[in-house]
Amino acid sequence: MPANVDVKEMDGYLHVTVTGENTPENVLGYLTAVRAACVQRGCPAVLIEENLKGPGLSITKIFDVISKASQGARPGVTIMAYVDVNSEHDRTRMKFAEDVAVNLGISVRVFDSLPDAEQWLRDTLAPPQ
């Protein structure tokens, strides 16, 4: 069953909440849906709040999914904040996912909390003073 993707427009970015089962297909599917939402709304900044059930993906699966997703990320998504709210998932794997994405040209940062991710997005999107 595909992941459920809920998109809310915020001030300057999209807040996407993802629920469902943690499978490579679901992760790739929701990343594709996020890109489509960004393109459709003309909003290249996104906060992804992922709450997928089940064990975390292996390092190999993470690399494969991000490699595939990065091929179509632009145009659409230029800045992404990411929070995995499932406390059972290994945070070091999320850092690995961030590193892979950045090395493939995606501006993404992984956070442990929604408030931290929201603050980073606001600071990043704020015009210089």
pLDDT tens-place string over residues 45-102: 999 999 999 999 999 999 999 988 887 655 667 789 999 998 888 888 989 999 998 8
List the structure tokens of 101: 């994405």
Q: Cα–Cα distances in Å, from 78 out to 23, 117, 120, 124?
A: 24, 15, 14, 12
Q: Are the C-beta atoms of residues 50 and 33 closer than 8 Å to each other? A: no
Q: Region 31-56: what's the mean pLDDT?
A: 93
Contacts of 41 (CB under 8 A, 6+ apart): 7, 9, 14
How much is the pTM?
0.90
Contact 125, 12 (CB under 8 A): yes
How many contiguous H segments (helices) and E segments (strands) does the chain have?
Answer: 4, 5
